[in-house]
A and B are shown apart, each in its own frame.
Chain A
Amino acid sequence: MSEHDSGTDRDADAAPAAAGPCTELPEGWAYDAEASGIGVLPVDMFRSIGKPVKRREDRRLVTGKGRFTDDFSVAGQLYAAMVRSPYPHARIRAIDTAAAQEAPGVLAVLTGQDALDDGLGPIPHNPVPSTRFDVKLRAPDGAMPFIGPHLLLPVDKARHVGEAVAMVVAESRAAAEDAAELVEVDWEELPHVADSLDAMAPGAPQVWDEVPGNAFVDSAFGDEAAVDAAFAEAAHVASAKFHVNRVTAVTMEPRAALADYDPETGRSTLYAGSGGAVRQKRELAETLGLDPADLRVLSHDVGGNFGARNRVYVEFGLVLWASRRLQRPVKFTATRSESFLTDYQGRDLNTHVQLALDADGRFLAMKADNVSNVGARCVSLSPLSKGSGLITGSYHIPHAHLRARAVFTNTMCTQAYRSSGRPEVTYAIERLVDIAAEEMGLDKIELRRRNLVAPTDMPYRTAMGSIYDSGEYEANMDRAMALFEWDAIPARHADAEARGKRLGVGLANYVESSIGTPKERAEITVAPGGQVEVVIGTQPSGQGHETSFAQVVADMLQTPVERVRIVLGDTDKVSLGGGTHSGRSMRHAGTVMAMASADLLRKARTLAADRLGFPPEELDFTDGAFSHRDSNQTVTLAELATADAPLFAARTNEMHAPVFPNGTAICEVEIDPDTCRIEITRYASIDDVGRCINPMIVHGQSHGGIAQGVGQAMWENCPIDAESGQPLAGSLMDYGMPRADNVPFYDVGISEVLSPTNPFGVKAGGEGGTTPALATVTLAVLDALRPLGVRDISMPVTPERLWQALHAAPQATESRT
C-alpha cells in the first residue's frame, strides 16, 4: 500500500469527509474500456448472456457420477482419525500413544511434537483483508494484529473443544477410530471463556499469553467529533444492543481430504474440496515446507462451501504429511459431529448501535461498537471488516463513528459465512430503523423512504468511506412491496386473526459489498475442431460456473455455448486464481475472460487478415467468423487454429474496486399465540445483482440464500454452555435447519442496475438472499407480537424464546385474554 493511495484507503486515523455523492473517484475505480484493452463490449451481440441456460453440471450430478472428495479412493489407502480435545481450554502435559500404536491395523500415531520435529509450521492464514478498499483493522497499538499461530496439532494447549491434538492412521476407518480412543492425553484443565464480551472483562481467562485482555484488534473509523455534535443536536436518539448468533455452514458434504504420495517423483496429490485449490496449494506447501511444484491439489465437485471451505483445515495438512511419512495414500473424512465441532463457523457479533435523527426523522449520525468473536485463533477478519464498511446500510447518514474489535475466545474459529459480516450489520441498522420509527411514531416505510440513498447521489461515499457504485434503492423497495402484495396486508391480517393467528411483516433494505481477492487469470484455447477450453481459478460449489462462464466466453467469441468447456480445480492446470468467495467469481472471472477473449480475437484477426488478404482493421467478426465486405470469403476461429498452433490467449487481471449489490426483502409470518409456532407464509425480494448472466442460476442463489438467512433467524444456533464450555450443537439432532416443510415458495425478482466498475456491469448474486433475511424474519416476528407487548427478541426466534418473551411482556396477561 503506497502512501499516495491513502485517499481511497480507510485508515483508522484518517477521518473521511461527510457522506454524500462521491465527486472525486479514486484512480482505477471505474472500468476503462480503452485501458483494459477490451474496447466497448458488444452488448447487442449477447446471445447467451442473460438467458436461463440449463446447467451442464447437472447430468453427472443427477446420475450419481459426481466427483466429491470422499468418492475418490486410491489402492492401498489408509485412514486417519483425530484425537480431539474434550475441554475448551487445557494444557497438554503429555500424550501417551503406546496403546494406540499397538492396536490392530494401526500404522502411526502422530502428535504436534512429531510435526515440529519434521519441520512443519503454522498454516499461513492471512486474515487481514488487503485490497485497496478494505477497512484497515489493526491491533490496539496500531500494529498488524497477532493472530495466534495455527499449528496442525498444538503442542502447548488445546484452546477449544474439538481441537485435534493427535492423529491415528490405520488400515481402515473403523480401526483408526477405535485406536484414537486408546490415545491417553494428560490434560490440565484451565479456566475458559466463550463469550466475546466476557473475554474482554478484567480477569478473564487468557487464550493467548501474547494478547492480554484477548482483544487483538481495536480500530476506530469515522469522524467522532462530527458524530458527537450531531448527537448533541438530535431530536431523537435510538439505541440498541444486539448479538448476532453464532452459526455453522452445514455444507451437506462433510469436509474430506485424500493425500497420495508418489515416491518416484516426490510429488503429492491432494484431493480436497475447497473454495479454491490455488490457495490450498500455496498455504499447504508453506505449512509442510514443500516446493509448491511438488504438490497438486484437486478440487472437483464441492458439496457446498458458504465460506467454510475457503481457508485451510488442519486435517488437509495432516493427511498430506502422514502420506509422505508412511509413503501410502491417507484419507480423512469428517463425521458430521466433527463438522459441528470444527468446521469454521460464522457470525457471532456483539453490536451496540445508536442513531441520531432530527424532528422530521432525517438521519443525522450513527455510532456503532462492534465486537467480533473470532474463536481460538484468527483465521479471517473478513466478517468484521466487511461489516465495518457497511454499518450505515442503504441510508444517507452524514456522519458515523465505529469502534471495531476482534476477540479471542475458547471456541472454534469463525470465518466468512455466507455474506460475511453483512447480514450482521444489516440486522443492526434495520432493527434500529424500526425502533426509531416506533419511538418517534413514524411509519417505518416512510422513515426508510425519507433516508434511502438516492440514485442521483451515486456513486455515493458513505460516512465509513465505502463508495457505493450504483443502485436504485427506493425502486427496489417499491418493487419488493408490489411483489409482496403489500396493499393486501390488512386483508391477510384479518384472515389470520380469524384463524386465531397473529400476522407480522418485516421489511429490510440491504446493501452489501463484494470485494474478494483482487487477482484472477483466464487461459483460453480454441482447438481446430472449434472446441474452446477456458482455464480459470475460481472454484464453484454449486454456483454453476461451468455453465455461466461458458455463456460469457461463448458470446465473446461468438460461438455456441455447448462448445465452451470450463476447466477448474486442478492446480496442475490452474496456476493462479482467487477462488470463490465474497461474490467475486462472475465479476472477476467474467472480466478477465472477456479480456483474454479480446486478446485471442486480436491474434485471430491478424491471422485472418493474412488468410483473407485484407488489413486486419477492415475485417468484420460475426458468428465466430471473420469476413470482409468486399469478399464472400470467411474464416472461422476453428479454421484459424491448427493442432500445432491452437489459438491461445492468457490474461491476468487485478481489480480492486468493490461493488455493492443491494435490494429489499420482505417476510410475513403467522404465529400461533398458544403454541408459539411460527410459520413463514410469504417471502418476497428484489436483488440488484448488476448484469445477470444466467437468471435461472441467480434465482436459485436467491432461494438458497434466503433459506440460509431464515435458518439463522429461526432455528440455527451454536450455543456454548457457559459453565462447561461445551458446544451444545453437536449433530443435526440439536441444530435446527431449513427443511422442505418449514419454508415457503419465495417470490424473487432481479434488478439489473449495472456497475460502472467492470465491463459487464456485474455486481454479485450469491449472497443477497441471506443478507437481509435475519432482519426480515426478526422484524416480522416483532411486528406480530407488538400488540402483545413484546419489543425485543434475539435470534434464533424459537417458539421457546417467543413463549418467554410473551410471558415476560408487561401487557402479556391482559392482551392474551
Chain B
Amino acid sequence: MSDVTINVNGTDRSATVEDRTLLVDFLREALGLTGTHVGCDTSQCGACTVILDGKAVKSCTVLAVMAEGSEVRTIEGLAEGDELHPVQAAFCKHHALQCGFCTPGMIMAAVNILERHGPDIDEALVRHQLEGNLCRCTGYHNIVKAVLDAAQQTRIAAE
C-alpha cells in the first residue's frame, strides 16, 4: 500500500492505495470522480483521458503512485461554475455526443489539442489527434465539427 497525494482539479487529494492501483481507479474509486470512464483494458479507447501536468494521457496507463505530486485535470474540473468550457459548449451545440460515455475523454483530449496547438488547427490535425479516442455513436462527424468550432470561438475571443 502507498500514500498518494495528487493535485486534482486544483485541490490536493490523498488516499492510501494498493501499489497496482491505476490513476483512473484512484480517480473513480478513491476520489469518487466517476466522470472519467474505463472503456477497455489495452489503452485503446481513450475514455479515461485526463490532463496530467499539461499533457493528455490515458489514465489507465499511469499508476497512481507515478502521479504522486502531479497536477491532474478531469472532466469535473473543466467548467467554471455554471459556465461550460468552450469545448464542452461546442459539444452540446454540435450534437457531438450521443450516449456520452466517450465524451469526457474526448473532451479532455480536445481541450489539450487546443492547449498544445493553439486555435489555428484544421480538420486533418483534429482527426489525427483524436485517433486514440474511440466513439461508437457519432461517426466522429459532429465531434470534429465541435472541436473546430471551439477553436474558432477561441480565435474570436482572442481578437
Residues of A within 8 A of B (CB): 54-55, 57-59, 61-66, 68, 70-71, 73, 174, 249-254, 301-304, 306, 333, 335-337, 541-544, 696-697, 699-701, 703-708, 731-733, 737-741, 743, 745-746, 769
Contacts and interface: CB of A to CB of B under 8 A. Distances in A.
Interface residues of B, number: 55
Contacts of B99: 251-253, 301-304, 541-542
A741 B93 contact: no
Contacts of A251: 99, 101, 136
Nearest to A58: B92
- Which of B36, B74, B91, B100 gathers the greatest number of chain A CB atoms within 10 Å? B100
Contact of A738 (B18, B75, B97, B139): B139
Interface string B120-144: 0001001110110111111111111
A302 B100 CA distance: 8
Given A64-B33, A745-B141, A731 B102 contact: no
A contact patch SS: loop
Contacts of A337: 41
Interface stretch (B42-50, B63-71, B151-159): B42-50
B59 interface: no
15 contacts: A54-B93, A55-B95, A64-B36, A71-B28, A71-B34, A252-B137, A253-B37, A333-B38, A544-B98, A696-B95, A697-B95, A705-B139, A740-B133, A741-B130, A743-B140
Contact of A732 (B45, B88, B97, B128): B45
Give me the 9 closest cross-chain CB pairs, A-B, nearest first: A64-B35, A303-B101, A542-B98, A61-B100, A707-B139, A542-B99, A732-B44, A64-B75, A703-B139
Contacts of A65: 35
Contacts of A544: 98
A63 B138 contact: no
B15 interface: no
Contacts of A249: 136
B95 A252 contact: no
B78 interface: yes
Contacts of B13: none
A334 to B, nearest CB: 10
B127 A740 contact: yes
Interface of B: 18, 20, 28-29, 33-42, 44-45, 47, 74-76, 78-79, 84, 88, 91-93, 95, 97-104, 107, 123, 126-128, 130-131, 133-144
Nearest to A733: B42
Contacts of A745: 123, 141, 144
B149 to A, nearest CB: 14
Contacts of A699: 95
- Which of A252, A731, A738 gathers the greatest number of chain B CB atoms within 10 Å? A252
Given A58-B97, A745-B141, A64 B34 contact: yes
B76 A304 contact: no
A303 B100 contact: yes
Nearest to B132: A739
B41 A304 contact: no
Contacts of B127: 740-741
Contacts of A301: 99-101
A550 B134 CA distance: 30
Contacts of A303: 37, 39, 99-101
Contacts of A732: 40, 42, 44-45, 134
Contacts of A333: 38
Contacts of A254: 38-39
Nearest to B128: A741
A667 to B, nearest CB: 13
Contact of A252 (B34, B42, B102, B140): B102
